[in-house]
Structure 1
Amino acid sequence: MSLRERLLFLVEHYDERQRDVLMKQEVENMLTRRLPMTIYRIEGMSRENLRISGLHGERFPYLRIQSKQAEANVGVLYIISEDRKRIYLTMMEMASPFHQKEIRFLTPDHHRILKDEDIVIGTSIEATEFEEGAALYIPYNVEDFPTERQLKEDLIIMMQFYEQYLNVHAQEKQMTSDKDLIHHIYHYLKGTGFYYELSDVANVYFSLKTKPFVILSGVSGTGKTKIAQLFAESIGASEDNGQIALLPVRPDWSDSSDLIGYTDLKGEFRKGLFLKMIERALNNPSKPYIIILDEMNVARVEHYLSDILSVIESRKWKEGRIVTYPLLPGHKSFRDVYLPANLFVIGTINMDETTHSFSQKLLDRTNTIEFNTIKLDAFDFLLEEEREKPSTQVIQLQSQFLHLKDVYHQYRELVQEITIELIKINDILAQMDLQIGYRVRDEVCFYMVYAIKSGMFTFDQAFDFQILQKVLPRIGGSDYNTLEGLKELYHYSTSTVLDEVVDTAILEAEQIRFPKSGRKLMDMIKRFDRYGYTSFWASTTY
């Protein structure tokens, strides 16, 4: 008998076992011996690796398939509904639905597999518990039961997703903390001969965790593109495995077609590399994928990246995972494609006469990280031992918070302390009409929680980075209010009044609260004093 015939045999005769002793033996034999043997014969269903058990529920039978090596109480089950009208192929956690959301998040979308709450097994307490534990399922109506081929294909697909989850679950137990992973990334970068402070590496990490889009700025030669590439490599993403893509931006980009794709003269859609990376990320949700937009401001960012930025802002929670609005809502083939949570975008920029400036809209949507330190005599890397890349799962790097309510109840006092400081800054920015809004407030709070709870930064160290990256890039101009606003921010950051003769001002980093912001503010003020105009983006030569 085939798998199909034996499943239908149980549906037809299961209730007869209570009235007929011989039929009871036949049903028991079918459930506990013959059906498991049929499944063992399917390619890939090894008796060495799997334990298949036929069991009786309170009012329904089910067949459980579990890995012998797995510690997680998760398995693949065939369940016959109490009314005998349906059979479900499911993946669930038997003890409790604790990992249900995680399973759904880690499983790529598939047209055969459902992830909703609409499974109906029965009315008994046990049936309800099974319904609550079902993370994935494929429903079969007995009256329209699928072919043997379809049943086997479905089982193979479900088992592949089961094995993928078990691999991720096993790796999560070995997963390092944020602090340990940041130290690994730092030593990996250091071993390649590029010099970055540990705090700078941690800052990039927390910025990406806050939002999967960051901008690296600085003078040419400071290794902005390289840190993005090495950061990706250090967590297991490389060109060889297709998890990293370097996209040099062209000056003639005026819309998103070069990134996402376009329809050619023959009417065929040509996928851009950005869309290809999205598809890879969707198919492998447990792995990080990184896109580097190199020299992204040689074209106007708001023109070619606006669609993607809008979609990033639409992030929301759905069944325990982060989803966005569709990227191509009107396209017949890609209308359901969205930006997955395991995709990260890192842009690099140079600011000179050949590039374009950024709008406030863009600056509000990212952390702008400046790299201007070059240390040519950093030879420690020659003594560094080669380190293995850790098995980094995207769960560790992806955002945990999307809305302020996600973080407020657990970290209420910290959020309130951050907000008090931001109100002080907003009072200064008001005279320049550059106040920060709710989006910036929320993302500063997310960054601060990640950074402080990791043990990498104190409150002042983390907030110093946020002033530097979320507040100061907004400021530029040649009017009196700009200069006065900069001086007040300098006083806020350093608790000292700037000398009238700006060129003789000295900043003692050990004695001030926010030294990184203080140095940048002094730089901006000196430029204003010398040239009558200042900007975050223009460095000063003394």
Structure 2
Amino acid sequence: MVNFARYYVDFIRRLFSNIGEFFKRIFEAFADLLFNDVVNYFKNLIDASKTFGFLDWLIAIVVIGINVIFIIFIVIRLYQFLRHYIRFAKSELDKDELLEEIALLSQKTVELADEKNKILQLKMGNVTGYSGQDNPFDDKPKVITSRFAKLIQVDNTYKNQITSVTMSPEDMIGLPELINRFINFSASKLGLYYDKKTIATYFSGMATSKIMILEGISGTGKTSLPYAMGKFFSNDSAIISVQPSWRDRAEMIGYLNEFTKKFNETDFLKELYETTYREDLNFIVLDELNLARIEYYFAEFLSIMEMPNVSEWKIDIVPDTQPGDPRRFENGKLLVPQNVWFVGTANKDDSTFTITDKVYDRAVSIIMNQKAEFIDAPPTDGITMSHEYLESLFLTAQKANPITPKTMDNLEKLDDFIAAKFKITFGNRITKQIKAFVPVFVACGGSEIEGLDYMVARKILRKFETLNLPFLQDELAELITVMDKLFGKNAFKECTLFINDLRKQF
């Protein structure tokens, strides 16, 4: 044991001696580099300069100057690095202190919230006699307060009302007369003017999807069109202004406040809930819907509306059911009825977001870039129409005007060409929409080719905007030739105009 102790003591002495020698040599090396050898540097320079000529002195001055500048640069960089490091270390310490303060404040916030809830509970006990426990000797009825103040108001409004729609014989009209009547009503009663194609496209879009997008330059009547529709059908449209801050569904629908245990209801939720009581036509307008990303805040609606079973179109509002909740809720969910359409208006400028394919594929897009001309319309009243009656008009039109097999065959050939040349194709969803849109468009007074032209331009060719078009000029010209060959010379006017606009950009 003594021998090992002696060995270990010698080992420790030698280790620390080596460590001391290591730092000593490093210190001596720095001393030689920066101090001891500096004198020798100058002596060697003086000795060597005795044999320098003019050119030698010139080169020496340049080289020495460069070396001095380099040393100064190194010193400055080291100084900046040390200064930056000190600031960074100081900021990290400040962050740690801030995090500690935030944690303390959060803890105090929770404590204050608990005290607030206790105070509210005491106040409720004084007002209603409720102290948090059931009193078996209290015969007074318990007061149940709802967490949905606005929706309960809707329940009370429709509590004793008959909401069924009774149509008069004058209101039981077909689609062409419906379009003419709306145009005359808007012109005579509202001073708003629309052409027949725009209104025919609007009604055909209603038969195709519950989501419609009105696009175009400002001042062409995008917002006023669904507004006029509400006035025409004797049920004002709900206009909801989309805010740039909308990031998720909570901004549009609302959310449950965990502190107050109340639901922060939005106007959108109230208007949607009210449609569950009605049997007529309802329009909820999302004004300037692309000020925020619609695929974020409207994502749940985009998903449920893809379900073939409309009884599954349910939006989750709250995770549970409590006494006092609105009557139309089913286990905290709200069924989106079939008598409501969501109409979005969209501008394209630097302040807006791009509408993605996910939205366009599920919606019907209507371009409104021109104002309609003045119409000297006779005084025309609005109409009372049930959702069921309008749906029957759509179904009748789809059965009476199916797309001809020849047109469908040509559409498949066009799809094959676009897939081969542009690597873009459309699936069953768009095919289903075309089969729903075109027959109603024909029933509204348009032609089969004209309706198909509009859908191909809005649903398929619109995807070309994402392609590298400068290298596809020949293919675009060939596409126009193929469309003329399949559907007739200049028959696809919308598509041709769209393609030519794309070619002009490059």
Of 451, 457, 464 in structure 1, the residue corresponding to residue 453 of structure 2 is 464
Higher mean alpha-carbon deviation, 227-236 vs 440-449, is at: 227-236
Residues 209, 399 of structure 1: 8 Å contact kept: no
Structure 2 CA distance, aligned partners of 1:186 and 1:394?
20
Q: Distance in 1 between matches of 2:412 and 2:475?
A: 14
Q: In the TM superposition, what is the alpha-carbon distance from 1:463 to its structure 2 partner?
A: 1.1
Which of 249, 253, 267 lines up with 1:260 in the alignment? 253
Contact preservation (8 Å) 1:297, 1:349: yes
- 1:433 equivalent to 2:423? Answer yes
Deviation at 1:412, TM superposition (A): 9.7
SS of equivalent to 1:313 = coil
Q: 1:521 aligns with which of 487, 499, 502?
A: 499
2:244 equivalent to 1:247:
no
Residue 207 (1) aligns with residue 205 (2)? yes
What residue in structure 2 maps to residue 219 of structure 1?
A: 217
**Structure 1 residues 464 and 225, CA gap change in structure 2 (3 angstroms):** same
User: Are the equivalent residues in 2 in contact too, given 1:301–1:358 (CA < 8 A)?
Assistant: yes
Equivalent pair of 2:246/2:252 in contact (CA under 8 Å): no
> What are the within-5 Å matches in structure 2 for residues 237-316 of structure 1?
237-238=235-236, 244-264=237-257, 265-284=259-278, 286-316=279-309
Amino acid at match of 1:354: S
- Note if contact 1:292-1:345 (Cα within 8 Å) is conserved in structure 2: yes
Q: Quick check: which one's strand share is greater?
A: 1
Q: Secondary structure at the match of 1:340?
A: coil
CA distance in 2, matches of 1:439, 1:399: 22
- Give the structure with the larger helix fraction: 2
- In structure 2, do the counterparts of structure 1 residues 210 and 363 end up closer, same or farther at CA, with 3 Å as the change threshold? same
Output one character per residue of 1:315-370: Cα deviation in whole Å (capped at 9) or x when no partner: 42xxxxx4333111763244341110001111010111221112222111011110
Counterpart of 1:179 in structure 2 is 176
- Report Cα offsets for 1:27-85 as digits up to 9, x if no partner: xxxxxxxxxxxxxxxxxxxxxxxxxxxxxxxxxxxxxxxxxxxxxxxxxxxxxxxxxxx
| Matched residue count | 334
* Mapping of residues 347-496 of structure 1, within 5 Å: 347-374=344-371, 378-380=373-375, 383-398=376-391, 414=403, 416-430=405-419, 431-452=421-442, 454=443, 456-476=445-465, 477-479=467-469, 482-495=472-485
- 8 Å CA contact 1:490–1:522 kept in 2: the answer is no
TM-score normalised by L of structure 2? 0.60
- Counterpart selection for 1:342 from 339, 344, 367: 339
Give the direction of change, closer, same or farther, for the CA distance of 1:328–1:252 in structure 2 (3 Å limit).
same
Letter in 2 for 1:272: T
- 8 Å CA contact 1:210–1:399 kept in 2: the answer is no
Query: Compared with structure 1, are the counterparts of its residues 259 and 519 closer, same or farther at alpha carbon in structure 2 (3 Å cutoff)?
Result: same
Q: In 2, are the aligned partners of 1:324 and 1:338 still within 8 Å (CA)? A: yes
Given that residues 453 and 493 in structure 2 are in contact (C-alpha distance below 8 angstroms), is that contact kept between their aligned partners in structure 1? yes
Identity of aligned residues (%): 22
Q: Provide the rounded CA distance (Å) in 2 between the counterparts of 1:235 and 1:213.
A: 18
Secondary structure of the structure 1 residue equivalent to 2:385: coil
SS at match of 2:480: helix
The Cα shift of 1:248 comes to 1.1
1:279: how far off?
A: 1.6
CA displacement, residues 132-183 of structure 1 (integer Å, 9 cap, x when unaligned): xxxxxxxxxxxxxxxxxxxxxxxxxxxx89x765x53x54784111111111
CA contact (8 A) 2:457 2:494 kept: yes
Residue 490 of structure 1: SS of its match in structure 2? helix
Aligned amino acid, residue 208 of structure 1:
M
* CA distance in structure 1 between the partners assigned to 2:207 and 2:218 by the alignment: 26
Residues 450, 492 of structure 2: 8 Å contact kept: yes
8 Å contact 1:293–1:346 — kept in the other structure?
yes
Mapped to 1, the partners of 2:233 and 2:474 lie a distance apart of 44
Give the Cα–Cα distance (whole angstroms) in 2 for the partners of residues 330 and 266 of structure 1.
15
State whether residues 448 and 462 of structure 1, in contact with CA within 8 Å, keep that contact through their aligned partners in structure 2. yes
> TM-score when scaled to structure 1?
0.56
Say if 1:172 and 1:356 are closer, same or farther in 2 by CA, change over 3 A: farther
Change (3 A) 1:361 1:219: same
In structure 1, C-alpha distance between the alignment counterparts of 2:183 and 2:386, rounded to whole Å = 18
Q: Is the 8 A contact 2:314 2:334 kept in 1?
A: yes
1:83-94 matched pairs, under 5 angstroms: none
* Distance in 2, Cα, partners of 1:486 & 1:230: 39
Q: Distance in 1 between matches of 2:431 and 2:397?
A: 12
Compute the displacement of 1:390 (Å).
1.2
Give the corresponding residue for 1:155: none
* CA deviations over 1:80-113 (Å, ceiling 9, x no partner): xxxxxxxxxxxxxxxxxxxxxxxxxxxxxxxxxx
Distance 2:282 2:491 in 1: 37
| Residues 202/283 of structure 1: CA separation in 2 closer, same or farther (3 Å cut) | same
Partner of 1:235: 233
Q: Relative to 1, partners in 2 of residues 1:235 and 1:199: Cα closer, same or farther, differing over 3 Å? A: same
Give CA-to-partner distance per residue, 1:238-258, whole Å, 9 cap, x none. Answer: 1xxxxx211111111110112
* Structure 1: stretches of 5+ with no match in the other structure: 1-159, 239-243, 317-321, 497-509, 530-542
Q: Give the secondary structure class of the aligned counterpart of 1:414.
A: coil
Q: 1:413 to 1:266 in 2, by over 3 A?
A: closer
Answer whether contact 2:414 2:483 (CA < 8 A) is retained.
no
